[in-house]
Structure 1
Amino acid sequence: MAIVVEHDKRKHEILEKSLELFTREGYDDVTFQKIADACGITRTTLYIYFKNKREIFTWSIKQMTGELESRLMEILGDKNLSAEECLRQLMYWVIDTCNGNRPLFNVLLIYLINLQKTGASAEERVNRRVIRIKHLLSMIIIEGQKRGEFKKMPVKTVNNMLYSLVESAIFEIAVLNKKDVSEVKDSIDLVVQGLRK
């Protein structure tokens, strides 16, 4: 059992250090050797955990979105919050997290553009990583409707509208390099107010 724990712990450390490296140097400039060096291990040891750079990058993003989901579950689990407060906190936290990880989203943007050039579906890759977040948004909307806090509206449509605000924020952060996300938060407030009964 100790070997499995050590293996998982080392894998987690590799992913964290790799994500820092990708964020600092960009996807294209990071090599398998640079990752090994940053982790203080040999390339051979790194191959025990991952088969290539792309796999490390994908797992790094998966680990980050998993941590994001955990925090969102904490917000969702706070029974003292109304559905409106829960939705607002969740959306604000996602936007603030995106803003706080600005360099990562710059790297992700370049990665997705390059992926698209190869003929692979960037949309499919993104959807795999965000499906859980979209599900959590739907849960809050449904709960708010059940409690009578929100109007009866098509959940999928409301979800798409809220998620498009997240995408808009990421675009403003990664492409337009906007530092202030207050306009996106104002849009979130407007949408959430529009849901209230």
Structure 2
Amino acid sequence: MKQEIIQTSIHLFDKKGFTETSLQEIVEELGVTKGTFYYYFKNKQELLTDIHLEFIEFLLSNQRTILNDDSKDSKEKLRSMIYMVIHSIKDRKKSARIFFREMRNLGPDYLEQIVQKRDQFRVNVQAVVEEGIENGEFQTDLDPNMVTRGILGMTNWSYYWFDPEGDVSAEELTSIYLNIILNGINSKD
């Protein structure tokens, strides 16, 4: 039942927004009582926190797998991370939208653990950028922190507009992003 509450809430929060979705609407959609909701969650904030945690932990778990793959160089790890974020949109678009859009609705106690995990994701991407600089794969004259934030800015907001069933596949979008990141958009002339 807990997962049913989470999935129903993801749908409603995505459609209406967190603040506009009442607890009553969630339980009515499920056909359960508020008591059922309170058995699993203290309040709507805790529910939103669980949605956030589930999404960021999914990303971190996949990111760790990429980081620990010694067969990949820094470019391949970066490509894999970008692809993982883009590809996750197919199955987790609503969760991604809620993660980025509704973080502002988390209270300080709930927000702290989410921000720590989000920051860990950024630090891990930056570690790949720094590793690529150290081993000569990437330019040495750029600030790794700013490069990382640029990469995440591009990839993280794809959830808002990217249609995995559209004209461009996740693989093609990853290649476009990686080409821009590694080569810029200057003419090769």
Give TM-score scaled by structure 1 length.
Answer: 0.68
Count how many residue pairs are aligned between Structure 1 and Structure 2. 172
Which runs of structure 2 are paired with 1:27-176 in the superposition (5 Å)? 27=18, 28-29=20-21, 31=23, 34=26, 38=30, 43-44=34-35, 46-47=37-38, 49-107=40-98, 111=102, 115=105, 128=115, 130-152=118-140, 153-173=142-162
Contact between 2:67 and 2:77, CA under 8 Å: does it hold in 1? yes
Shift in Å, 1:193: 4.1
Give TM-score scaled by structure 2 length.
Answer: 0.70
Structure 1's unaligned 5+ residue stretches are: 1-12
RMSD between aligned alpha carbons? Answer: 3.7
* Cα deviation 1:29-75 (Å, max 9, x = unaligned): 4626845995x986446435432012111222112211210111001
CA distance in 1 between counterparts of 2:81 and 2:143 reads 20
Shift in Å, 1:191: 0.6
Secondary structure of 2:157's counterpart equals: helix
Letter of the aligned partner of 1:68 in structure 2?
L
Change in 2 beyond 3 A, CA 1:22/1:183: same
Higher relative contact order (CA 8 A, sep 6+): 2
